[in-house]
Amino acid sequence: MKLVSQENFSSSQKRFIESVKDSVNFISSQTDLVLGIKDIRSRHVIATDAYARLVGLLHGTDVTDRLDRDMPCDGTVQFADCYVREDQELLHHPDFNRKKAVLNVHEYSHGIDALIFEKYLLKHHVSDSIVGIIYTASRIGISKFLSLAPDYIREFGIGCSIEGVSGSLDIESFNLTSYEHEVGFLLAMNWDCAQIAHFMNTHHPTPKPRSQDTIYKCRNRICAKLDCHPTRLRDMLVEMRVHQKMPTSFFRRLIGSTSL
């Protein structure tokens, strides 16, 4: 499928987008669902009133032609570059049916909150084209996030954008297995091996409980893959934004779902 920008839409694609906009407006009039559409350059096309209120606007049509950095909500502006990067990763991924689930914790128009945003490709099947991104959001609440990752805000600040990642983690030129990713994510939060073993045994138990030595050996495997000395590992993981790539096994606990 090919990517098509708004200025290059065919008549058929324009009619399709207008029908999608009509659907969003209808949903907005009937529900409080947070939902919207972006084009392939991350420019908002339309949204529900519920989304508009999140970012400091009144109506869903007020988002039209705005980028995230153009919103009156400071938290959205702060992470605008993250959102664009997430959009582009989804648009250029070889799996056209893939979705992204991202936890956004920051200041919204109503205050600090935690929301899970899910993003999907908007496809025009008649022309075999991708014409944008559909996003929806649901609130999980800041307390649920802190119950799973109590040190996250202390280490990285009040705002964050964290993607849920299924399976192994491919980042830069490296690949971490799902288990190495779990350990690496917790190491990025500045946890020691004993803390990680306790957390894993509590939240992701296995028939054979993990020990401090088990985690220590996994940490060494990660160091070998990244060609990194243990004293530099945490800094390197943060530089690679591993702390913004949450393993699905942890992410599921936030949203109470096994469908990711």
State whether residue 239 is helix, strand or coil: helix
How far is C-alpha 123 from the geometric centre of its chain's CA atoms? 20
Residue range 76-116, pLDDT digits in tens: 998 899 899 999 999 998 888 888 888 888 888 888 888 89
Residue range 194-237, pLDDT digits in tens: 999 998 898 778 899 999 999 999 999 999 999 999 999 999 99
Single pTM value for the model: 0.80
Q: How far apart are CA 104 and CA 73, in angstroms?
A: 13
Farthest CA pair distance, the chain: 63
Residue range 9-44, pLDDT digits in tens: 999 999 999 999 999 999 999 999 999 999 999 999
pLDDT top residue among 60 and 246: 60
Lookup: tokens for 123 = 């496809």
